[in-house]
Structure 1
Amino acid sequence: MSIGVKFQRKHQRLGYLVKYLYYFIVKRNILQKKVSFGTKNSDKVIYVIKPDYQDGVEGLLSLINKQVLYIAYARKRGFYPYVDWKNYKTQYYDGKNNAWEYFFKQPSGLTEDEVYKSKNVYLSGWTFKTINPEGLFEAEVFIDNDIREKSSKMLCDHIQFNDEVLSIVDREAANLRISDCIGVYVRGTDYVKLKPSGEYVQPTVEQVKCKIREFENKYNAPIFLVTEDGNIFDALKDEFGNAIRIVSFDTFIRNYEGKDVLSKSNVLEKNKRLRGQKYLAKMILLSKCKYLISSITQGSKFSYILNNGKYTDEYIFHLGLY
């Protein structure tokens, strides 16, 4: 590990401690706490995993990366993890269903009924000691093979995609011949128009075109494009024509006004279950490509970790932060 990375980790831990103290004084509801809901499972400790921030804004892959850390934390301590996206708000909240189960199986096979009648229960949240001391699932996965490999192992050890998601992935992978493709991932819409502070700068369409031409000339391979932005899709389709491949169900946002983040704009698919499953499937497919050209976002981190170093060639746009 380089001196620079050690220095960064030290200051990340210091920042975590300061943030914990702030939450302890001002927002204690975000801290981990122990509760009891009844007398069931008196021989077990159940760990209810909830989103840290329940503003309905955080993206699916950002949520997943964090929930995996909590699942690993619980299992390391002999607890039984249960992910609750029904009683705690996410983008996919409807007050009726546990949205985690739209995408994944429960890590311990527990049901909501028995969890909320159990005697020994922890509600996840910030603790005095960080649950992520090694900095897993951060942007370092793109430059540090050790961090990427540890992140990948944790991801694969602690989540199971559900049958609906796997069915979508298998069907689309066959249609796309995904293992032959140059995967291209780039965000537009709110990332570009709002330039959210602390998020990674996205490349311009011209930068993406140049890199695709380079890969196309080297590998003569089809291009699997993942973007939500209709303008980006149009520009790349005009440039590369039938070499561009997309999933059969893809749609694009063309009427985004740039006044708020996508999750608070009236431009997303109304069926939250399908919206999330389709997005997750595309990011899994991106991890199965032979080559990769990508910007840095929470989504691309997930795909990169899932692939775990198996791309034959790759290019990641490191353009700094907004």
Structure 2
Amino acid sequence: MANIVLGVATSHSPQLSTPTDQWHLHVDRDQMKKDLHFRGNVYSYQELHDLRKAEGLEKEVSEEKWQERYDQWEVRMAEVQKKLLEASPDILVVIGDDQRELFLDDGMPTFSVFWGEQVQVIPHEGLHPSLEAARWSNFGEQVETYQTEPALGKHIVEQMMRDGFDVAQLTRQAEGRGIGHSFIFTKHRLMKEDLNIPMVPIMINTYFPPNQPTTSRCYSFGKALGKAIRSWDSDKRVAIVASGGLSHFVVDESLDRLALEGLQKQDEALLASIPENQMTSGTSEIKNWVAAAGALEDKQMTLLDYIPAYRTEAGTGCGMAFAWWE
């Protein structure tokens, strides 16, 4: 039977791959927004700025603080990559979300598994200037092809169906649609030149109503996914990667720390207690971590770091986190 040798999880925000001398471009974009989600409500930038004025977040947005955060997570990314290299997996099962990359309104599945022979990166066009600096890690600089593992992907689909998860399955991409940022980031930030491991892309619709799965459902999905991988008749070594999160585009440290507590304690009830109306926008990617935790119940999670990376006094930015299960 296949052996799950390791699990890792990292944030994948473009901010992670943007030099700090260009963070002002993220600030410019934030200040134009009128749909910033925070604790169950939606605000314009100015409304959010007024709401959070008393928190004193101005101390978090100096150039010195930004560089300190950037240097901190570069170390953590290197540690996660090293951990993957040491585990020597034959296959990566990557849990991510699709943000109108492979799937559009002609079909937006709650859970899906890609089990074709390979997937392509098709570079995004018309990016905001704040995102261009991170194109290499999130959005594609050129057409690329990633090797996948169809035998395991097909087995996962079949086993998940037996266990009550009616997953969508696909073996090819629609014309002009590339694999999403969750998987591009995994390839370029976790593998780099040292690793070239076939992937099985697992996609969860955390973002788009009305068919997002609940946090509890994601944990159950993860448990079934772990069971499916372990039941595969193969001696291959498998690592699970959770890509995305934590809170963004507004940092919510209390929510992030609650989620991390639930993940570390393997406390499904605590995770399920997080209100669903707070698991919206980019923050919803926490559910990718929750699914990984379900698949890795036999292992202990180590939290390497949690870095609240504020970009503005309104609290915009991303709660960056880095962890593994072994």
TM norm structure 2? 0.30
**Larger strand percent:** 2
User: Higher relative CO (CA 8 A, sep ≥ 6), structure 1 or 2?
Assistant: 2
